[in-house]
């Protein structure tokens, strides 16, 4: 079985290759552009993206979308996290959260998988808080201003440490669990 990871980010492909390593699945990178729609739900973005890719004839593929949802800001930047990171950046988020006590927020990652003419959609979460300043040099995007344990930012953790607790790590775990329980993938041995 081959699964195409459809993304412009090679880092994502490596992560899926690691997750599928012990299964009878070969993960390969595939760059096919698809539209992401404006909506407040990651799952809607993923569902529409999957429809478009299927209409283009693609089968057996994975796409995903992630975002940071800050509760006191009614979910902002949410589905538009990438755009907000490019425009107002972490400084912008810290300005919006100045003098705000409720700093609770949730990172979410939604994965859509088309496999054997079935659709699996899972959403992984990581609850945490927005810090008062940027800390740490690892990771990317909002990692320096997000902490899940109240001690370290995501940018102060190694990739392996982060994967254990992160929204993306949790989404991948949910996907693997769903695929194995439905008998859609099997271990190599």
* CA separation for the pair 130, 108 (Å, rounded): 14
Q: Does 140 bind a second copy (CB under 8 A)?
A: no
Q: What is the DSSP letter of 35?
A: -
* CA separation for the pair 164, 12 (Å, rounded): 15
Q: Does 86 bind a second copy (CB under 8 A)?
A: yes
Whose Cβ is closer to a second copy: residue 36's or residue 156's? 36
Considering only residues 9 through 38, tell me which ones interact with a second copy, judged by CB under 8 A.
35-38
Residue 75 CB, nearest approach to a second copy (Å): 6
Q: Does 83 bind a second copy (CB under 8 A)?
A: yes
Q: Residue 188: CB partners within 8 Å, gap ≥ 6? A: 22, 23, 24
Q: Does 189 bind a second copy (CB under 8 A)?
A: no
| Terminal CA-CA length for the chain | 15
Considering only residues 36 through 55, tell me which ones interact with a second copy, judged by CB under 8 A.
36-38, 40, 45, 48
Residue 160 CB, nearest approach to a second copy (Å): 31
Q: Among residues 24, 35, 65, 114, which one is catalytic? A: 65
160 is catalytic: no
Residue from 16, 23, 62, 78 touching a second copy (CB under 8 A): that is 78
Is the separation of the CB atoms in 58 and 34 below 8 Å?
no
Residue 158 CB, nearest approach to a second copy (Å): 31
Tell me, rounded to whole angstroms, the distance of Cα 121 from its chain centroid: 12
Cis-peptide into 108, omega within 30 deg: no
Nearest to 102 by CA among 147, 71, 133, 75: 71
Whose Cβ is closer to a second copy: residue 65's or residue 143's? 65
Residue from 9, 26, 95, 180 touching a second copy (CB under 8 A): that is 95
Radius of gyration of the chain (CA): 17
Which residues of the chain form contacts with a second copy (CB under 8 A)? 35-38, 40, 45, 48, 73-76, 78-80, 83-84, 86-88, 92, 95-96, 98
């Amino acid at each position: 079985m081959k699964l195409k990871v459809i993304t412009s980010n090679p880092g994502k492909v490596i992560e899926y290759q690691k997750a599928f390593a012990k299964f009878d699945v070969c993960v390969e990178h595939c760059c096919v552009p698809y539209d992401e729609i404006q909506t407040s739900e990651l799952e809607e973005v993923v569902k529409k993206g999957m429809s478009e890719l299927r209409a283009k004839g693609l089968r057996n593929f994975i796409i995903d979308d992630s975002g940071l949802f800050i509760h006191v800001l009614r979910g902002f930047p949410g589905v538009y996290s990438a755009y907000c990171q490019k425009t107002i950046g972490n400084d912008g988020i810290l300005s919006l959260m100045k003098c705000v006590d409720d700093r609770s927020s949730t990172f979410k990652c939604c994965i859509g998988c088309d496999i054997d003419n079935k659709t699996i959609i899972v959403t992984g979460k990581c609850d945490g808080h927005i810090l008062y300043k940027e800390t740490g040099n690892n990771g990317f995007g909002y990692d320096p201003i997000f902490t899940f344990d109240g001690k370290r930012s995501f940018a102060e953790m190694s990739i392996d440490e982060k994967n254990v607790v992160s929204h993306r790590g949790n989404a991948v775990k949910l996907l693997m669990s769903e695929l194995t329980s439905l008998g859609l993938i099997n271990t190599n041995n």
